[in-house]
Amino acid sequence: MQPIYTQTVATSGATVYFNNIPQTFTDLQLLISGRGGEATVTNLIYLQFNGVGAAGSYSTTRLSASGSAAYSDRSSGASGDYFYAGLSAEANATASTFGSTSIYIPNYTGNQYKQVISDSVGENNATATGMTLGAGLIISTSPITSMIVGIFGGFVANSTVSLYGITKG
């Protein structure tokens, strides 16, 4: 695993952009230590690839749990304008806690639809926190050359997003 880019958010409300992703690796790994700015909703982390945000561009299936319930959902078709990768700590979570998200994208340079696998936890020292496992597709045959990483409400300062390249040997 080789570091490509790391961005630490300096100003709350930010979205992270990765451009000119090298095409020299086999897979990509995205690691996020993040906290969202929304206090009353789940802070969903979303991705867009190659500037594509049109309906039907992504398909995501998630299995999630909070401190008291489990549920699953799916977004695709008209609502598939983002890949919903997971969740993060909310603004009203325990002070100074950051959620943890891992996103794996195999064969990102290939000329077929891209698979995306994610797992995340929104840290909080309380009974109500969230965990999500996700899987889905980027419905495009173009290699991934750029990526937008966002969270509803924006990332708060000191959230970190790191992109790594993996070469299978």
pLDDT band at 134 (very low <50, low <70, confident <90, very high): confident
**Chain mean pLDDT for the chain:** 85
Which position has the higher pLDDT, 113 or 53? 113
Q: What is the pTM of this model?
A: 0.89
Q: What is the pLDDT of residue 133?
A: 86
Task: State the Cα–Cα distance between residues 88 and 166, nearest whole angstrom.
Answer: 25
How does pLDDT run across 33-56, given as a tens digit for each residue?
988 877 766 678 888 899 887 767
Task: State the Cα–Cα distance between residues 88 and 34, nearest whole angstrom.
Answer: 6
How many structural domains does the chain have?
1
Q: What is the pLDDT of residue 127?
A: 60
In terms of Cβ atoms closer than 10 Å to its own Cβ (0-12, 13-18, 19+), residue 11 is exposed
Q: What is the pLDDT of residue 148?
A: 93
In terms of Cβ atoms closer than 10 Å to its own Cβ (0-12, 13-18, 19+), residue 116 is buried
For strand 70-75 and strand 27-34, is the pairing parallel, antiparallel, or unpaired? unpaired
Q: What is the pLDDT of residue 77?
A: 53
Q: Which range marks the domain in which residue 139 is found? A: 2-166
* Domain containing residue 36: CATH number: 2.60.120
Q: Could you say which DSSP state residue 153 is in? A: T
Q: Two tokens at 109?
A: 């340079």
How does pLDDT run across 56-109, given as a tens digit for each residue?
788 888 887 777 778 777 776 555 577 888 777 777 777 777 888 999 999 999
Task: State the Cα–Cα distance between residues 87 and 152, nearest whole angstrom.
Answer: 10
If phi > 0 it is left, if psi is from -120 to 50 it is alpha, else beta; for residue 99 that is beta
**For a pLDDT cut of 90, what percent of the chain falls above it?**
40
Q: What is the pLDDT of residue 64?
A: 77
Cα–Cα distances (Å) from 31 to 39, 87, 130, in that order, read: 23, 13, 17
Q: What is the pLDDT of residue 68?
A: 75
Average pLDDT over residues 123-128: 66
